[in-house]
């Protein structure tokens, strides 16, 4: 069973790097704030002044981990930062990134967004030859590859190490005088490059570039490695072009990216408005108001309202202070149906035929409670529209969906059964074709495996979230 007990999908991480900018630590701190939505379990920053590398990391939100005193100790002009949500490995300080290790030629720091599908295999290979792992994350295998005598002689060393990996990765790798950004050959996760004065900035999302005043240059290409050092910026490939199919994660567009980010070349808000407009065409309904499930359903609800001509209103109000810090025991939450995140505005929905627009439905339990609450305060009809197709399969590339059995649409469950189970009068999911409308229908550039089951990589050596963790416990028990 996945750790994700919530009805919302979870992202795994955000990365942010700076080269050639004074007070790099302050820019990284601000950049990580902008990427907080991608992970709230821990955060870390590693900084170099060209001579010394210093790092600070901890469990919690960015503003819980860093204060002015910590940042004051991290002075330099090169650095990388990370916000973590674990899709592989548990919530413990050893797993918080960036990982910093000492190799024969100095210190290396690594920050990773994504999920490596062959991490388990590589880890076993190194363990068999005597290597010791400090964390239960998939990311640590890159560190071992970098330290491997086979791969020494930088920068080919990094390229060769990256070439061994399969799955999803946006990596930032740093030494005391060099920063390297790399994106996996399928391009699952986004990674952008920005210019800040004479320096460079790398970020999982463009909203973080804007936050520090950097000008967006371009995305790191799938299979590309961008190196920045005293000689400037240069690029090379670590896999041959065309060797891997493009498989950018369409779910980044549906849900994860902040609305003000451009992801895979399109603004997330504008793409979601298009999804809503298309949904209104595909599943028209006679109703009095459209209400979003805030915040993730806001843009699509606006699109549905525009497309259908049904007025938009706010029937749910989000409590922005409920998040990681309010943990209700799951049994309690499920038994009582208490939804601390959203409250209902009876004055808006009473006596109305309501269309609820959300970005996705994962387990369905939360949606079921939310629909019931609309009926409890007097909504006469509740129609649900979802701005992506039904999620029927788990993700192996860094999005923490539950198992197929736990997904409400898993195991090919018919839509009408799902509708009945959540208690809606009607239910409409965006079609697969509709998902690619913002990209001129270029389905072939994207991964949509959670909807279709067509995984773009081999799933033979897939490493589950708990797999590396359970091995650590097993080893501890055997001591």
Active site positions, annotated = 13
Q: Closest Cα to residue 1, out of 322, 410, 367? A: 410
- Give the x/- contact pattern for ligand SF4 in 430-449, rule: CB under 6 A: -----------------xxx
> For residue 317, what are its two tokens?
């109000």
Query: In angstroms, rounded to a whole number, what is the distance separating the alpha carbons of residues 278 and 46?
Result: 44
| Residue nearer to ligand SF4 on the CB measure, 62 or 253 | 253
Within 328-387, which residues bind ligand SF4 (CB under 6 A)? Answer: none
Nearest-approach distance from CB 192 to ligand SF4, in angstroms: 18
Give the CA-trace dihedral at 31, 33, 39, 43, to 10 degrees: 80
| Residue nearer to ligand SF4 on the CB measure, 108 or 188 | 188
| Residue nearer to ligand SF4 on the CB measure, 110 or 250 | 250
- Give the x/- contact pattern for ligand SF4 in 184-203, rule: CB under 6 A: ----x---------------
Within 226-265, which residues bind ligand SF4 (CB under 6 A)? Answer: 249-251
CA distances from 80 to 43, 45, 55, 415 (A): 11, 6, 10, 44
Question: Which one of residues 450, 462, 463, 468 is an interface residue with ligand SF4 (CB under 6 A)?
Answer: 450
Residues in the chain: 479
Within 157-186, which residues bind ligand SF4 (CB under 6 A)? Answer: none
Tell me how many residues contact ligand SF4 (CB under 6 A): 11
| Residue nearer to ligand SF4 on the CB measure, 225 or 254 | 254
Nearest-approach distance from CB 443 to ligand SF4, in angstroms: 11
Query: In angstroms, rounded to a whole number, what is the distance separating the alpha carbons of residues 330 and 336?
Result: 10
Nearest-approach distance from CB 116 to ligand SF4, in angstroms: 13
Query: In angstroms, rounded to a whole number, what is the distance separating the alpha carbons of residues 210 and 304?
Result: 29
At 447, which helix (H) or strand (E)?
Answer: strand 446-447
CA distances from 102 to 81, 96, 109, 191, 239 (A): 18, 17, 9, 26, 27
| Residue nearer to ligand SF4 on the CB measure, 46 or 462 | 462
The DSSP-derived string for 28-43 is HHHHHHHTGGG--SEE
Within 376-395, which residues bind ligand SF4 (CB under 6 A)? Answer: 395
| Residue nearer to ligand SF4 on the CB measure, 372 or 443 | 443
Nearest-approach distance from CB 80 to ligand SF4, in angstroms: 23
Q: Closest Cα to residue 87, out of 112, 59, 62, 65? A: 112
CA distances from 146 to 71, 139, 172 (A): 28, 12, 13
Nearest-approach distance from CB 421 to ligand SF4, in angstroms: 22
| Residue nearer to ligand SF4 on the CB measure, 108 or 396 | 396
Within 396-425, which residues bind ligand SF4 (CB under 6 A)? Answer: 397, 399
Burial-class residue 338 by CB neighbours within 10 Å (0-12, 13-18, 19+).
exposed
Nearest-approach distance from CB 399 to ligand SF4, in angstroms: 4
**Beta strand ranges found along 146-223 (DSSP E):** 170-175, 178-183, 192-196, 199-203, 215-219
46 lies in the binding site for ligand SF4 (CB under 6 A): no
Nearest-approach distance from CB 249 to ligand SF4, in angstroms: 3
| Residue nearer to ligand SF4 on the CB measure, 98 or 410 | 410
Report H helices in 36-99. Answer: 62-65, 68-72
Instruction: Using alpha carbons only, give the angle 239, 242, 246 rounded to the nearest 5 degrees.
Output: 95
Q: How many CB atoms lie within 10 A of CB 242?
A: 9
Nearest-approach distance from CB 435 to ligand SF4, in angstroms: 9
The answer to whether 430 touches 448, Cβ cutoff 8 Å, is no
**Looking at beta carbons, which residue is closest to ligand SF4?**
395
Instruction: Using alpha carbons only, give the angle 171, 57, 158 rounded to the nearest 5 degrees.
Output: 25
Which residues contact ligand SF4 by CB under 6 A?
A: 188, 249-251, 395, 397, 399, 447-450
């Amino acid at each position: 069973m996945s750790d994700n007990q919530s009805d919302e999908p979870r992202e795994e991480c955000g990365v942010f790097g700076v080269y050639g900018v004074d007070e790099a630590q302050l820019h990284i701190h601000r950049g990580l704030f902008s990427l907080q939505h991608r992970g709230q379990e821990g955060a870390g920053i590693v900084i170099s002044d060209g001579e010394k590398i210093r790092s600070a990391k901890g469990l919690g939100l960015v503003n819980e981990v860093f204060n002015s005193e910590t940042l004051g100790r991290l002075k330099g002009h090169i650095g990388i930062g990370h916000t973590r949500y674990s899709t592989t490995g548990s919530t413990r300080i050893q797993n918080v990134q960036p990982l910093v290790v000492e190799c024969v030629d100095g210190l290396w720091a690594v920050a990773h967004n994504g999920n490596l599908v062959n991490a388990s295999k590589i880890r076993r290979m190194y363990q068999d030859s005597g290597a010791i792992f400090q964390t239960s994350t998939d990311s640590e295998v890159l560190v071992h590859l970098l330290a491997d005598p086979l791969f020494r002689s930088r920068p080919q060393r990094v390229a060769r190490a990256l070439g061994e990996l399969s799955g999803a990765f946006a990596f930032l790798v740093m030494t005391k005088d060099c920063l390297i950004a790399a994106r996996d050959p399928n391009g699952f996760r986004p990674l952008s490059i920005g210019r800040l004065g004479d320096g460079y900035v790398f970020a999982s999302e463009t909203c973080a570039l804007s936050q520090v005043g950097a000008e967006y240059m371009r995305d790191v290409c799938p299979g590309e490695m961008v190196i920045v050092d005293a000689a400037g910026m240069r690029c090379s490939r670590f896999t041959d072009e065309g060797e891997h199919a493009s498989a950018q994660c369409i779910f980044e567009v549906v849900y994860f990216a902040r609305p003000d980010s451009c992801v895979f070349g399109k603004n997330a808000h504008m793409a979601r408005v298009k999804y809503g407009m298309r949904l209104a065409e595909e599943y028209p309904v006679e109703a009095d108001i459209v209400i979003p499930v805030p915040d993730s359903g806001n843009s699509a609800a606006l699109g549905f309202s525009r497309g259908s001509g049904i007025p938009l209103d706010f029937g749910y109000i989000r409590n922005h202070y409920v998040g990681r810090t309010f943990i209700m025991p799951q049994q309690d939450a499920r038994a009582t149906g208490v939804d601390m995140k959203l409250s209902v505005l009876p004055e808006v929905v009473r006596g109305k035929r309501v269309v609820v627009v959300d970005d996705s439905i994962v387990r369905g339990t939360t949606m079921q409670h939310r629909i019931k609450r609309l009926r409890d305060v007097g909504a006469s009809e509740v129609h649900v529209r979802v701005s992506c197709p039904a999620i029927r399969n788990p993700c192996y590339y860094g999005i923490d969906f539950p198992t197929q059995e736990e997904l409400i649409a898993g195991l090919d469950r018919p839509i009408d059964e799902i509708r009945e189970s959540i208690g809606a009068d009607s239910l409409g999911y965006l079609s697969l074709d509709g998902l690619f409308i913002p990209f001129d229908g270029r389905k072939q550039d994207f991964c949509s495996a959670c909807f279709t089951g067509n995984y773009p990589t081999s799933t033979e050596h897939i490493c589950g979230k708990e797999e590396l963790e359970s091995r650590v416990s097993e080893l501890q028990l055997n001591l």
